[in-house]
Amino acid sequence: MSPESLRAAVADARRVVVKVGSSSISGPNVGQIEPLVDALAAAHERGTEVVLVSSGAIATGIPYLLLDARPTDLATQQAAAAVGQNILIYRYQESLRRYAIVAGQVLLTAGDLENPTHRSNAQRAMERLLKLRIMPIVNENDTVATHEIRFGDNDRLAALVSELIGADLLVLLSDVDALYTKPPQEPGAEPIGYVAADDDLAGVELGDIGAAGVGTGGAGTKIAAAKLAAASGTAVLLASTSNVAAALTGQPTGTWFEPTPRV
């Protein structure tokens, strides 16, 4: 995709979902929240409807539970999420306050999007928030989710939210600036700028994306989520969190996944 086509596609996207991972906005990277909000607010001010899917509840809660690492048992994960989600939303709202934008918290479980009634309720609430110019901030409801019903990672959640609200564009942010032909730290790794709708990426060697021990996603989950969203008609851009402003203004960055045309 040419730089001109990319800018046009992003500019034409009236409804955008942006997903950010735990490692990008917690711990030593908590300072990335403000530039992330700057980019989201700029899109919002242009009239774009913006939904943020943000991981980070458990990672944010860990130090407040005086833990040294991510807990492995479900009960402590739920406790960390209960504490961390409150702090995470507070941080976002404090940053959004600079732009007089109000955030709306939306917590979902996998069961919510599988149950027709719950799915309809979630869709109606999201639509109303967007019409009111509230910025929905979505996360998995880690406090009540169990291992059996979890989304597994918020990349998939972001793809499902994109499908739920008919988003034009999904921006998947990570610590890496694009999808590469092999893990980017390996010799010979080359960035992939464009993925056609029928490209199965069979030749790509997968590696993790994100800081070990904090997030749960990787390159495989990014690809699966991008393909899921693209199959429903949503274009996908995989980019680094530090390049979010460039991504949301259509500058050449990251990896673009071509969407399947909507019928």
Q: What is the pLDDT of residues 56-82, one digit of tens each?
A: 999 999 999 999 998 988 899 999 999
* Binding site residue list for ATP: 19, 174-175
Within 8 A by CB and 6+ apart from 111, the residues are 118, 149
* Binding site residue list: 19, 55, 142, 154, 174-175
Average pLDDT of 223-251? 95
What type of residue sits at position 68? Answer: D
pLDDT-based confidence at 213, cuts 50/70/90?
Answer: very low
Establish if 263 belongs to a structural domain.
no
The model's pTM is: 0.92
Looking at the predicted structure, is the pLDDT value of residue 166 above 50?
yes
Within 8 A by CB and 6+ apart from 66, the residues are none
Average pLDDT of the chain, as a whole number = 90
Establish if 205 belongs to a structural domain.
yes
Count of the separate structural domains present in the chain: 1
Establish if 163 belongs to a structural domain.
yes
Measured between alpha carbons, how far is residue 144 from residues 2, 36, 150 in Å? 44, 28, 10
Residue with tokens 């306050």: 97
* Binding site residue list for substrate: 55, 142, 154
Establish if 65 belongs to a structural domain.
yes
Establish if 11 belongs to a structural domain.
yes
Establish if 76 belongs to a structural domain.
yes
Establish if 262 belongs to a structural domain.
no
* Cβ atoms 155, 224 nearer than 8 A: yes
Phi, psi (rounded to 5 degrees) for 250: 80, 15
3-state SS, residue 43? helix
Looking at the predicted structure, is the pLDDT value of residue 247 above 80?
yes
Instruction: Write out the residue range of the structural domain in which residue 214 sits.
Output: 3-257
CATH number of the domain to which 27 belongs:
3.40.1160.10
Residue-wise pLDDT tens digits, 123-132: 999 999 999 9
% of residues, the chain, pLDDT over 90: 68
Secondary structure element (H or E) that encloses residue 232, with its range? none
Average pLDDT of 116-125? 96
d(CA 120, CA 104): 18
